[in-house]
């Protein structure tokens, strides 16, 4: 495809300048070319001309011209290819809910939400298979980490995308994540408040707590069950939507998520404590974090949209090995 592309500003990019957003999502394009395209009106936000210092808001739609005309790729990815029948069947197999307004996927661990400089296979590319009869491609309205599985929403129109973007930016959505953490927290429920920022330098893909430069971040948590004092079955409710928020907050609180290779240590007064040996347990080899449920006012009609994503097989294995209930209906954050 050599056509204009529309991309929705994600929650973590809220407040970012347009030129810096372009550097992140279209790294093949030079700073000078981005300036030129914006000046000529070929890069637009919600259909309007903007300058490159324009501050983007979550849910806005950025229109990019056919970048192949300028030697570039969207998201640095070479993903503008015809999908195979296998690709089409795969993305359709992930659908757990759909109506005329939204689509919900149960995203597996290992599948990226959007492309990047080294990521060419992702949900945004595969969603070409979900184009409706009017030729409209579903739009991403939020993201999940590549390693995280669970509920991922797509909007079927720009109008619904903007509504959902506003909801994610506000407090109208309750997102419940399940995780296995170790060791078991001393306090079984609480709230974690810690500002988060990018680490920078060689650890630019990691986030860290930064009291001066970090963005305000708050996460509620609750222990639903536990296996002795080694592993806790936990629910998390991130009230803000920062990159790796739950993972960082769990780590700094002394109960990192099982299988998290980016945040594998217990932080205690700047001393990294190694985690206990769990090799005797028959558990899945992945990050044990799953976007279990999402609850929000329906963006297209009256009523509530309440979607639950079943545990994937590799997490089901861990839950059963530890005798945790994979069908637990507890909502510790209701009300």
- Dihedral angle over CA of 72, 75, 76, 82, nearest 10: -80
**Rounded to whole angstroms, what are the CA distances from 30 to 36, 41, 74, 146, 231?**
10, 17, 13, 27, 48
Does 156 map to a domain?
Answer: yes
Contacts of 285 (CB under 8 A, 6+ apart): 259, 314
Query: Angle 18-25/31-39 helices, nearest 10 degrees?
Result: 120
List pLDDT tens digits, range 121-132. 899 889 989 988
What pLDDT score does 70 carry? Answer: 60
In this structure, is residue 166 part of a structural domain? yes
**10 Å Cβ neighbour count for 63?**
16
Residue 224 inside a domain? The answer is no
Flag residues of the chain having pLDDT under 50. Answer: 1, 74-80, 269
Rg (CA), the chain: 20
Q: Is residue 218 part of a domain?
A: no
295 in any annotated domain = no
| CATH code of 106's domain | 3.10.290.10
Q: For residue range 200-218, list pLDDT tens digits in order.
A: 766 667 899 999 889 999 9
Which of 95, 59, 295 has the alpha carbon at shortest distance from 175?
A: 295
CA distance linking residue 265 with residue 275, whole number of Å: 6
Residue 73: inside a domain, yes or no? yes
pLDDT at 82: 76
With beta carbons less than 8 A apart as the criterion, state whether 304 and 296 touch.
yes
Whether 84 maps to a domain, the answer reads: yes
In terms of Cβ atoms closer than 10 Å to its own Cβ (0-12, 13-18, 19+), residue 277 is: exposed
- Give the active site residues: 145
- Domain containing residue 124: 5-170
Strand, coil or helix: 218: strand
Q: How far apart are CA 212 and CA 266, in angstroms?
A: 22
- Work out the number of other CB atoms within 10 angstroms of the CB of residue 244: 24
Provide the b/e sequence for 297-332 (b: ≥16 CB within 10 Å): eebbeeeebebbbebbebbebbbeebebeeeeeeeb
The model's pTM is: 0.78
Number of domains making up the chain: 1
325 lies in some domain: no
Query: In the block, which residue shows the tokens 């040996």?
Result: 277
| Residue 279: per-residue pLDDT | 73
Which pLDDT value is given to residue 269?
46
């Amino acid at each position: 495809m050599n056509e204009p592309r529309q991309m929705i500003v994600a929650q973590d990019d809220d407040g970012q300048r347009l030129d810096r957003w372009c550097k992140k999502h279209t790294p093949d394009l030079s700073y000078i070319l981005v300036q030129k395209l914006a000046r000529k009106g070929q890069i637009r936000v919600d259909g309007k001309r903007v300058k490159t210092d324009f501050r983007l808001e979550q849910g806005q739609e950025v229109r990019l011209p056919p970048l192949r005309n300028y030697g570039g790729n969207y998201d640095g990815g070479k993903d503008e290819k015809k999908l195979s029948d296998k690709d089409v069947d795969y993305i359709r197999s992930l659908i757990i809910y759909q109506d005329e307004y939204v689509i919900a996927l149960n995203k597996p661990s290992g599948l990226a939400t959007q492309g990047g400089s080294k990521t060419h296979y992702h949900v945004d590319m595969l969603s070409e298979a979900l184009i409706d009869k009017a030729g409209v491609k579903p739009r991403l309205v939020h993201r999940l980490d590549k390693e995280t599985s669970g509920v991922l929403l797509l909007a079927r129109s720009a109008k619904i995308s903007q509504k959902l973007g506003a909801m994610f930016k506000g407090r109208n959505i309750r997102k419940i994540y399940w995780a296995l953490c170790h060791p078991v927290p001393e306090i079984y429920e609480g709230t974690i408040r810690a500002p988060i920022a990018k680490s920078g330098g060689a650890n630019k893909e990691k986030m860290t707590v930064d009291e001066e430069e970090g963005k305000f971040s708050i996460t509620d948590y609750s222990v639903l069950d536990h296996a002795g004092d080694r592993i806790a079955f936990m629910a998390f409710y991130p009230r803000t939507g920062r990159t790796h928020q739950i993972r960082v907050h769990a780590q700094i609180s002394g109960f990192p998520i099982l299988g998290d290779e980016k945040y594998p240590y217990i932080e205690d007064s700047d001393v990294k404590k190694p985690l206990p040996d769990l090799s005797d347990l028959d558990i899945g080899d992945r990050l044990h974090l799953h976007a279990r449920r999402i609850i929000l006012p329906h963006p297209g009609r009256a009523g509530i949209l309440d979607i639950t994503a079943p545990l994937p097989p590799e997490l089901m294995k861990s839950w059963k090995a530890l005798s945790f209930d994979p069908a637990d209906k507890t909502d510790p954050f209701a009300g």
